[in-house]
Amino acid sequence: MSRVRRTLLVANPTARGGMARDLIDEAMSALAEAGLTPEFLPTLAEGKTVPAVADRIEREDVERVVYMGGDGTFAEAGKGIILARERSGVDCPLGMLPMGTANDQGRSFGIQAGARALRDNVAIIAAGNEQWIDAGRIEAFDAEDRLIAQDLWFDSCGIGLSAEILYVRNRDREWVEHVPLLRRLYVNKVVYTSATLRALLGGLVAGASFGVEVTMDGVKENYVAVTDIIVQSTMLYAGDWIFDPDSKPDDGKFEVVVMQGHADWAAAVIGTHKHNPLTGDDLEVLGLPRRRIPKARQVELRVIRPEGVDAVHAQIDGEEFVSTDTYRIENLFNHLRIIVPEDAHWV
């Protein structure tokens, strides 16, 4: 007798001050109405979501995993799928119900975010059109070149200003959680905007920058006055920027974006916005030349911190990562199956 094939919904019921519970109920109803036999698995603290997803998949009756939330929840669900495949050979695709702030994964493939798009996104999942994407493996090393941390990522990883913005945002969220009124108002892009402005202002006042030796597929380049380095897998960054319109999520390489100085960072924000009406020639007239975006399968970053700087912040998929001076990043070609619209394109 054949077993019922289930859809495992992974989401955080405590997100949005508990308001996510109603969205989870709506998602479960929509998945059931689409004939996808849903089962709910709540996210767990301290990295326990990944093995919980893998354990459930290995019972061999999960046809697909669906995440609901932000890029961090996408990463946890994706890692769980990969862990199950590596441990037991059981594999399944990942569907998307984006609800976070940036939603780079969903928007890079034409999947709208938010509660209003929920039922449309369930229809995409039910249609079952699949695509492979690359994943990244990052390793962090201490001053003696000893491995101190490693992880997988799917959207982006980086060091510098973008990671510092994330750090400031997370500290803000921790503080706001204790203030009920602000907890409802200070959410999503409001949090990001505040953190970005404060990190930018702090960097301008302090003149914060660092040096980096970047090795891409064996070729070394040295950069000074660096404010940010972003290693990118998806087309979209932070929901609104496209550094390289020719980038692909399944070409075996990552884009490496180096920002030198706050003016360069600001120029990139203007020149690479996804709705930027200016052409390349227009940008050059404004003094914003076309940015060269190198691609590589293997990337090594060696940070040269100025005197008095204890650490440079790091992030993967919108989550804080260990801060050190050496990182090695590898592209894992076609490492995860995702469910996308038939005509997948960024939104």
Q: What is the pLDDT of residues 259-278, one digit of tens each?
A: 998 677 777 777 777 877 66
- Cβ distance 347 to 107 under 8 Å? yes
d(CA 221, CA 258): 11
What token pair was written down for 127?
Answer: 């249609």
Tens of pLDDT, residue by residue over 19-43, are 789 999 999 999 999 999 999 999 9
Tens of pLDDT, residue by residue over 195-223, are 454 555 455 444 579 999 999 999 999 99
Task: Work out the number of other CB atoms within 10 angstroms of the CB of residue 21.
Answer: 14
Higher-confidence position of 167 and 112? 112
Domains with residue ranges and CATH for the chain: 6-128 (3.40.50.10330), 136-332 (2.60.200.40)
Is pLDDT above 90 for 304?
A: yes
What token pair was written down for 53?
Answer: 């997803």
- Cβ distance 102 to 70 under 8 Å? yes
Mean pLDDT of all residues in 82-111: 94
pTM listed for this prediction: 0.88
Question: Residue 4: its pLDDT value, please?
Answer: 85
